[in-house]
């Protein structure tokens, strides 16, 4: 079977680099185009790109020529690592031109006819793609993955919400520096410091999970009736977002039931067999002091959600800590898993 051709839009940025890295030796996909800004177009990727990831730049990409971010590329799937203003302008053109756009940008996440997708959480929401294509007259489509902070705890919420009905959630994040891209956060703001603010983040974290955990209803999603309050903070961690969560449910639930639900949940079989799906969707740790970002972010090659400290909450019912790799599961890896799901569902053409 021949591989599906894919492009990475905005390939020279920090998220673009993660796409390039994760697509190396992918069993289904073959990278045929890397796009960049005017400054980069025409240069070799290995030269145009200031590689910031810790493992080396994959050989396959080093000598590819960077092309402009314009529809008509020789690629079926277009992974978008574009900044949100560019994504806003360019992604519809790609979808109209027939590309399957799997986007990490926030621009269209909350559009009613655009799936905001985590394969383990709401694989059925891909049905919105037909609605989108009809309404917009596109042969391609846009599918999005959520904000890096929403990702981890929404995966942890899936079993709990299904079984017990979450009604209220407090979420407080301690987010990694890589979430701000490169150069991103100044070192003078990071060392011996916490910045208790990330622009635009809290509103995303308070709304995206409700769409993902919502129910599909013909042409749109009915948001899950969960009230979320978020505090988002930047800490001196390279990769891995740590989130403290307190939850209230529709029914009396304790830590024991919550752990059991996360361990026993039967995830969608199609999803579990996708190439980028981790061995365990959720890992629940029992040590008192885990998860920790440096020690747990690479679980499942950065695709596993790690939960720990599940305990009673004196105000709500249950509280715990969730850790998720923000630039793998929370960005490029999440988008890649979305593409795999869409291929498996026959929606990529």
Among residue numbers 262 through 291, which ones bind its own copies (CB under 8 A)?
Answer: 288-291
- 208 touching its own copies, by CB under 8 A: no
Name which position in 27, 137, 199, 346 contacts its own copies (CB under 8 A).
199
The stretch among 1-9, 36-44, 181-189, 334-342 that binds its own copies (CB under 8 A) is 181-189
Q: Which of 49, 102, 148, 210 is catalytic?
A: 148
Beta-bridge partner residues of 141: 100
- 276: CB partners within 8 A, 6+ apart: 22, 303, 333, 336, 337, 340
| Residue 241 a catalytic site member | yes
CB of 315 to its own copies, least distance (A): 4
Q: Which of 99, 125, 241, 325 is catalytic?
A: 241
The Cα-based distances of 11 to 37, 86, 335 in angstroms read 9, 13, 14
Name which position in 187, 251, 256, 273 contacts its own copies (CB under 8 A).
187
**Cβ 234 vs Cβ 198: under 8 Å:** yes
CA–CA gap between residue 190 and residue 220 (Å, rounded): 41
Q: Of the candidates 28, 47, 89, which has an alpha carbon nearest to the alpha carbon of residue 11?
A: 47
- 182 touching its own copies, by CB under 8 A: yes
The stretch among 24-32, 40-48, 136-144, 177-185 that binds its own copies (CB under 8 A) is 177-185
Name which position in 43, 84, 235, 270 contacts its own copies (CB under 8 A).
235
What is the total residue count of the chain?
349
Of the pair 15, 344, the CB lying nearest its own copies is at: 15
The Cα-based distances of 236 to 25, 194, 232, 261, 330 in angstroms read 32, 7, 14, 32, 18
Structure tokens at 60: 């396959």
Residue with tokens 């009736």: 225
Strand 305-312 and strand 318-324: the pairing is: antiparallel
CA–CA gap between residue 308 and residue 262 (Å, rounded): 11
Among residue numbers 7 through 46, which ones bind its own copies (CB under 8 A)?
Answer: none
Of the pair 321, 339, the CB lying nearest its own copies is at: 321
- 42: CB partners within 8 A, 6+ apart: 65, 66
Binding string, residues 309-328; x marks residues near its own copies by CB under 8 A: x---xxxx--x-x-------
- 183 touching its own copies, by CB under 8 A: yes
Name which position in 246, 276, 305, 324 contacts its own copies (CB under 8 A).
246
| Residue 99 a catalytic site member | no
Residues of this chain that interact with its own copies (CB under 8 A) are 52, 54-56, 168-170, 172, 174, 177-178, 182-197, 199, 206, 227-229, 231, 233, 235-238, 242, 244, 246, 288-295, 298-299, 308-309, 313-316, 319, 321
Active-site residues, by number, are 148, 241
């Amino acid at each position: 079977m021949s591989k599906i051709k894919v492009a990475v839009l905005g390939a020279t940025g920090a998220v673009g680099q993660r796409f390039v890295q994760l697509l190396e030796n992918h069993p289904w996909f073959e990278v045929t185009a890397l796009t960049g800004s005017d400054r980069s177009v025409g240069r070799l990727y290995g030269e145009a790109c200031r590689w910031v990831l810790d493992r080396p730049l994959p050989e396959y990409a080093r000598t590819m020529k960077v092309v402009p971010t314009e529809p008509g590329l020789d690629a079926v799937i277009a992974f978008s690592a574009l900044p949100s203003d560019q994504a806003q302008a360019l992604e519809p053109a790609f979808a109209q031109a027939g590309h399957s756009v799997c986007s990490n940008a926030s621009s269209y996440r909350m559009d009613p006819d655009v799936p905001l997708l985590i394969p383990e959480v709401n694989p059925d929401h891909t049905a919105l793609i037909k609605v989108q294509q009809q309404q917009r007259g596109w042969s391609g489509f846009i599918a999005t993955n959520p904000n890096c902070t929403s990702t981890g705890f929404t995966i942890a919420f899936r079993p709990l919400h299904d079984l017990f009905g979450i009604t209220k959630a407090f979420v407080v994040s301690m987010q990694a520096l890589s979430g701000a891209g490169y150069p991103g956060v100044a070192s003078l703001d990071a060392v011996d410091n916490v910045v208790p603010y990330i622009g635009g983040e809290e509103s995303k974290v308070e709304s995206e999970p409700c769409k993902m955990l919502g129910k599909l209803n013909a042409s749109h999603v009915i948001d899950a009736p969960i009230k979320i309050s978020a505090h988002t903070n930047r800490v001196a961690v390279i990769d891995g977002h740590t989130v403290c969560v307190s939850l209230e449910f529709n029914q009396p639930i304790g830590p024991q039931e919550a752990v059991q639900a996360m361990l026993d949940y039967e995830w969608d079989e199609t999803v579990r067999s996708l190439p980028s799906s981790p061995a365990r969707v959720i890992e629940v740790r029992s040590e008192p002091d885990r998860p920790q970002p440096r020690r747990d972010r690479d679980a499942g090659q950065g695709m596993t959600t790690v939960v720990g400290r599940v305990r009673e909450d004196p105000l709500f019912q249950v509280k715990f800590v969730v850790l998720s790799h923000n630039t793998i599961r929370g960005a490029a890896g999440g988008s890649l898993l979305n593409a795999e799901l869409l291929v498996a569902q026959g929606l990529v053409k």
